[in-house]
Amino acid sequence: MFRAIVGIIARRRNEPAQSDRMQTVTAGVDIAYPNSVVRAGGAPVLLPETADRQAVIAMIGRVDGLLLPGGGDVVSLAYGEEPHPTAKYQDPVLDEMEFLAARVAIDRGIPILGICRGIQSLNVALGGTLIQDIESQVPGAVQHWARPRDATRGHTIDVEPGSLLARVLGTKTLAVNSYHHQAVKDVAEGLRASARSRDGVIEGLEAADGRPILAVQCHPEEMRESQPALRNLFEWLVREAAARRSMGTDPVSGPCPGAENREETPA
Ligand code: MN
């Protein structure tokens, strides 16, 4: 059966060393992301973090959709700022991979869903900037760093009427979870804000020109049961990925004969 392939960037993780084991370094994502893709009818593949740009380009050439998942902070120098004292979990190799993956995907018309860190790295990839620390830099901010992130309806978002996000979610206000201390500041050219929390913090981005790009600051993969409207985001990504694949064309490399049989083709 036809299943669209959704690539998910898998970051480097240093596993805690155990007394009788070697230190291990893995590449991975929270399994809620691939599970959400599967439940939406897609087939997830993990794209492990690498500094090899040609390898990244080749990976994106083999997927129908791209998911930029949650994670740590984007290195502030990538958008021209010195680091705020609260900066944490920085990984410039991951940043560069995500910037390149996002740009290649956009060039090729591959749909993108960005989540949490993903909305931030997408924005920086296209020339935007970030608020480095909401609590100390946004007066009157609501609570954006709540635990647990799974079932909590943390704060309200207002969705821009007429936006792609409004159509996908089917609502103009929604209670979402919130687990971030950074946020989009200056929106990159080519993108537009499509949702905000009541303190004005940007909670959604999408393409300004109708390309298949959506990004949210909340964690829809953790709210499948508590906020079912958020499942629509994964269903949108898989539907767009499948639609692009069924066209069988690639704006960069031209028509791809046999693309519909790619699932069965050995790598
Ligand atoms: Mn938030």
The pLDDT value given to residue 217: 98
Is 144 noted as a catalytic residue in this protein?
no
Per-residue pLDDT of the chain (267 residues; tens, 9 = 90+): 689 999 999 999 987 777 777 778 899 999 999 999 999 999 999 999 999 999 999 999 999 999 999 999 999 999 999 999 999 888 999 999 999 999 999 999 999 999 999 999 999 999 999 999 999 999 999 999 986 655 578 899 999 999 999 999 999 999 999 999 999 999 999 999 999 999 999 999 999 999 999 999 999 999 988 899 999 999 999 999 999 877 764 444 444 333 343 343 333
For the four alpha carbons of 59, 262, 234 and 197, in that order, the dihedral sign comes to positive
Distance 39 CA to ligand 1 centre (A): 25
Phi, then psi, of 246 in degrees rounded to 5: -70, -20
Is 116 noted as a catalytic residue in this protein?
yes
Token pair for 139: 């007066």
Distance 77 CA to ligand 1 centre (A): 23
Distance 248 CA to ligand 1 centre (A): 38
The pLDDT value given to residue 149: 56
Q: Of residues 96, 206, 221, 222, which has the active-site annotation? A: 221
Q: How far apart are CA 166 and CA 173, in angstroms?
A: 9
- Taking every pair of C-alpha atoms in the chain, what is the biggest distance, in angstroms? 57
What residue ranges define each of the domains in the chain, with the CATH number in brackets? 5-11+24-261 (3.40.50.880)
Residues 6+ apart with CB under 8 A from 75: 83, 90, 91, 92, 95
The pairing of beta strand 25-28 with beta strand 65-68: unpaired
Is 221 noted as a catalytic residue in this protein?
yes
The pairing of beta strand 43-48 with beta strand 130-131: unpaired
Distance 187 CA to ligand 1 centre (A): 16
Distance 102 CA to ligand 1 centre (A): 22
Q: Of residues 96, 98, 116, 180, which has the active-site annotation? A: 116
